[in-house]
Structure 1
Amino acid sequence: MTRILCISLSPIRRDARVLRQISILRQLGDVVTVGYDEQPDGVVEHIRVPDDRLSLPQTVGGVLNLGLRRFDAVELAAPGVSYALDKLRGREFDLVVANDARVLGLAFAVAGDAPVWADMHEWAPEERTHVLSWRLLVAPFMIHLCRKYLPRAAAVTTVGGEIAKLYARDFGVTPHVMRNAAPFADLSPSEVDPDRIRLVHSGGAVHGRNLEAMIDAVRMLDDRFTLDLYLVPAADGGRYLKSLRDRAGDDTRIVFHDPVPPAMLPVTLNAYDVGVFWIPPVHTNARLTLPNKLFDYVQGRLALAIGPTVEMERVVREHGLGVISDDFDVRGCADSLRSLTADQIREFKRASDASAERLSFEHEASAALAMLRPLVAAS
């Protein structure tokens, strides 16, 4: 039986992209995962990295080597990476999958002659450029890993065409685009009440995603508008989520819910009218983002309200899915919603329904399998 190793130093059970990736890999063989948290469903083995074993070389020696640009010395030095390497010594696989640049060194260290699929998700050199220490120490390390390993990968993927162009420009590779599309959900658009427009947002409660704008925009709008939020707390102990609750204050139109599992999200979203997300272009990944939630909203058969974000705007315009604000200012976001009529929302929801199959994970999965089957057959 084909043995496949999938490495993702994330809590895989809550990582929607990696879970979808595993569902593809299972069609090719037995899957062993390496990552944080409990074993994901459907894999034959899970090597659980302890939560306190970080995915970057954030030790005294590691930081020193990063500062001195001794990148070869720290490729396998991150506590999480070194833990996984120790558990994988002597193991053989027919395909190794590296999720994100930080595990490229580990993937190639354990792959031997097996092909490596490098799924870069977003633009690795600017993953957290809003953090000074990242810009100074980690970004150059990410560039080193991409420059050294991506040309050696049997396949490279990323989330959108614009980011693929960046990898081609800077590292001389031609990534396949594998969008963060959700599985097809057999749903129909819910009814629209002309006197009530139900806005919804799902995702992580993470700084930099302009979640404050959604709250402020609703507070500027008339009483037809409500906002329901399904937010996953960030790794800050829930402080940012609390700040959002405080910002909403006693406005009863704004309701915070516990997050729901990815499989339940389309049904949950289906009860609403408009999925909202206005993320300003604070860095390259934000400027070029094509996030899970856009596809989740489509599977929920919602209208969409977004800002002028390059990749998102392209999809929304191509399929006629919703409204696009002129900018990311709160007033502009509110203005894009204020003029919506019940008939327009119904039209946008019908467009989501018509596009749901084409914008589903199944469409992306078929392309991924066509890419991977020759690699597995040749190994």
Structure 2
Amino acid sequence: MRKKIIVSVTNDISTDQRVHKVCQSLESMGFEVILWGRKLSYSQVLHRSYTTKRMTLLFSSGPLFYLEYNFRLFLILLFSKSHLLLSNDLDTLLANFLASKCKGIPLVYDSHELFPEAPELIHRPAKKKIWESLERWILPKIKHSYTVCHSIAQFYKDRYGIAMKVVRNVPYLSPSSSAQTSSKTIIYQGGMNPGRGLELAIEMMSYLDDFKLKIIGDGDELKALKALAQQKGVEHKVEFLGRLPFNDLKAHTEQASIGILFEEPRGLSFEYSLPNKLFDYIHADTPVLVSSLVEVKGIMHHYQIGELIRERTPQSIAKQIDEMSQNLSSYDFAKAKKELNWQNESQILEGVFSPFLDKV
């Protein structure tokens, strides 16, 4: 009989690439995987090799959302047969921790970010303190954990004395695409939340003739960004494509000439972030123009895959984009793709989970 693991996350599971890859790896190891997420108005029908379930909640944001989600998740975990639990991020950890204690089964924690250090919490000290208190109470008690980059792992080691493994959020290594690249297409993929630098991206389009900016994703800033594009008179140059399935997203990325990552160092969560879009760009052979964040800068210095932003002004960035578009063949992605892929990272993941195949 296969060992059953319940994986939980608060987002819509259809677009979470990291959780999907983890579930695939766990299944290939021999686990029976059940993934719990949240059903939203735009949730797509899923066809996965592992079991997926989504709960419909009364609240969609704020304290009541987190309370309702964790209460319902706790009941699900408590009364579902399982041998192991995997919690994704701090907003699922309370329910998982309590259920693991009640049932006496192991818990593994995947920290996708420095949750209490997110930009949304910088000016909300009361909410930030609540998340920090939860983290301070539970994390030192977690025996098995991993995260997305070395900076976050070091942060938690310094703060709580825990040794997190590092499993980076990179794509599978696959043959290069034959998709035709447009020398005048810029792509952004990811969330539309404060600190992503998307205002800067839209403003730079005023200084780029014949270029098109494709923005793929969703978030709280979507309406404001569309208004900004109209205000700047560049709405004909900026295309908002919304959320896309993995395969559709990949096709757009492969056709783009330059991928952008303009995150601002607002708080340690962004400063230490290593966004998966950076690796998606790399595996699409798409040169990147990126912010000088700690982890991102390390990748850029190690591989010849693009440029760091020289000056954060619309005019300067537009000039840099134009220069890059004239030298696309000067970038080399072979080494980066060979080293930064899920086939390699999944070996670290196996080191975390394989002992449970015998123990639980």
Q: 1:40 to 1:7 in 2, by over 3 A?
A: farther
For CA contacts below 8 A with separation 6 or more, give which structure has more relative contact order.
2
Residue matched to 2:188: 201
Q: Decide whether the 8 Å contact of 1:101 with 1:146 is kept in 2.
A: yes
Partner of residue 71, structure 1: none
Unaligned runs of 5+ in 1: 60-76
Q: Which runs of 5+ in 2 are unaligned?
A: none
Of 318, 332, 343, 1:362 maps to 343
1:124 pairs, out of 96, 105, 115, with: 115
Per the alignment, residue 68 of structure 1 pairs with none
Deviation string, structure 1 residues 231-281 (Cα, Å, up to 9, x no partner):
222157x42343344245346443333443123323321112111121111
Identify if the C-alpha distance between structure 1 residues 280 and 57 changes in structure 2 by more than 3 Å, giving closer, same or farther: closer
Residue equivalent to 2:48: 42
Q: Helix, strand or coil: the match of 1:218? A: helix
Residues 262, 299 of structure 1: alpha-carbon distance in 2 compared, 3 angstrom cutoff: same
Structure 1 residues 176, 247: closer, same or farther in 2, change over 3 A? farther
| Offset at residue 130 of structure 1 (A) | 4.6
What one-letter code is carried by the residue in structure 1 that aligns with 2:323?
A: S
Work out whether 1:88 is the aligned partner of 2:77. Answer: yes
The answer to whether the Cα contact below 8 Å between 1:47 and 1:87 also exists between their aligned partners in 2 is no
Amino acid at match of 2:201: M
Assess, with a 3 A threshold, how the Cα gap between structure 1 residues 57 and 340 changes in structure 2: closer, same or farther.
Answer: closer
Please list, as runs of the form range in 1=range in 2, the aligned pairs for 1:97-108 lying within 5 A after superposition.
97-108=86-97
Question: What's the CA shift string for 1:18-66, capped at 9, x where partnerless?
Answer: 112211221231112222026754365444322324576438xxxxxxx
**Among residues 254, 259, 270, which one is paired with 1:270 in the alignment?**
254
Provide the rounded CA distance (Å) in 2 between the counterparts of 1:33 and 1:245: 38
Are the structure 2 counterparts of residues 296 and 44 from structure 1 closer, same or farther at C-alpha, using a change threshold of 3 Å? Answer: closer
The answer to whether structure 1 residue 12 and structure 2 residue 18 are counterparts is no
TM-score by length of 1: 0.84
Change (3 A) 1:255 1:242: closer
Measured after TM superposition, the shift of residue 318 of structure 1 is 0.5
- Give the Cα separation in 1 of the matches to 2:227 and 2:345: 37
When normalised by structure 2's length, the TM-score is 0.88
- SS of the residue 2:169 aligns to: coil
Shift of 1:295: 0.7
Superposition CA RMSD, Å = 2.6
Question: Which of 150, 155, 159 is residue 148 of structure 2 equivalent to?
Answer: 159
Residue of structure 2 equivalent to 1:281 = 265
Kindly provide the CA deviation profile for residues 139-170 of structure 1, in whole angstroms up to 9, marking residues without a partner as x. Answer: 22222222222233232111111111111111
2:202–2:234 contact (8 Å) kept in structure 1: no
Task: Give the number of aligned pairs.
Answer: 352
Contact 1:230 1:259 in 2 (8 A): no
- 1:190 Cα deviation after fit: 6.0
